[in-house]
Amino acid sequence: MDIKMNGTKAEQDKAIRYYDNISNFYDIISNWYYRKARKYAITKLKLENGQTVLNLPCGTGVNFEYFQSYLKNSGLIIGIDLSEGMLTQAKRKIEKNNWTNIELISENATKIDQKWLNEHSSSKEANKVDAVFCDLGLYGLHDWKNIIENVIGGLKPGGQIVILDWYLEKPRLLGKLIKWIVKGEVERPLWQYLESNIVNFDLKWFGIFDGVFVASGYKPYK
């Protein structure tokens, strides 16, 4: 059964409860299965000291240490998520590491665009997003095309966008198990839509079943 992070209020509430329930052990699963793909994906962001990166959804903040290896506690990391359980884990990481350049926002991903960031972020750095990382979340969202369009719209020209997500063209027994575990529609080739909206597109596959992809590119200059 798929868990949708938007759609009806009941579906959204169910999704939030699911991620709240797994938040305490999410990092164990994530670091085991996605570490290689995640490290590669974050290199594709091409982060530099002082830049602003939008992480949507940010989950437990599992990406923050990778971002900080480039940012060195400078610039701004904006983490968006709806699960309070996930955000609680992210806050603990921030406090434990004394990071001062991270802003966490509890909000539905479908609402996030440049106008929203300008109105709701406490930092002026949100006005100039240099990179966007969509990490294992779009497969569970009905309105994923609009989300991709919105975050690209909020990027600076030349800014990088990277999506790490699932795709299984014909889920068989093991594929269906994975689909049940990740609670999403893994049959959607999300990268194809991204490819049509960016330049210098790149695609690489990871995972035991080659079902995890990293797609990247940058917003064209006009």
- Give residue 9's pLDDT band: very low, low, confident or very high (50, 70, 90): low
Q: Tell me the three state secondary structure of residue 77.
A: strand
Cα(95)–Cα(98) distance, integer angstroms: 5
Taking the alpha carbons at both ends of the chain, their separation in whole angstroms is 43
116-120, 148-152, 159-163, 191-195: least confident range: 116-120
Using DSSP bridges, classify how beta strands 212-218 and 155-166 pair: parallel, antiparallel or unpaired. antiparallel
What per-residue confidence (pLDDT) applies to 13? 66
Q: Is the peptide bond before 171 cis (omega within 30 degrees of 0)?
A: no
Please indicate whether residue 31 or residue 178 has the higher confidence score (pLDDT): 31
Across 19-33, average pLDDT: 77
Whether pLDDT at 4 is above 50: no
Both tokens assigned to 113: 């665009």
Q: What is the pLDDT of residues 45-89, one digit of tens each?
A: 999 999 999 999 999 999 999 999 999 999 999 999 988 988 999
For domain 9-218, say whether CATH 3.50.50.60 is its number. Answer: no
Q: For the chain, which residues make up each domain, given as ranges?
A: 9-218
DSSP, residue by residue, 117-180: HHHH-SSGGGGSEEEEEEES-GGG-TTHHHHHHHHHHHEEEEEEEEEEEE--SS--HHHHHHHH
Q: What is the pLDDT of residues 202-215, one digit of tens each?
A: 999 997 767 899 99
Whether pLDDT at 118 is above 70: yes
What pTM value is reported for the model? Answer: 0.88
Q: Which of 139, 127, 187 is nearest to 165 (CA)?
A: 139
Inter-residue contact 174 to 94 (CB < 8 Å): no
Whether pLDDT at 94 is above 90: yes
**Percent of the chain scoring above 90 in pLDDT:** 51
Average pLDDT, the chain: 85
What per-residue confidence (pLDDT) applies to 1? 30
Q: What is the pLDDT of residues 121-177, one digit of tens each?
A: 776 666 689 999 999 888 777 788 999 999 999 899 999 999 999 888 776 665 666
- Give residue 21's pLDDT band: very low, low, confident or very high (50, 70, 90): confident
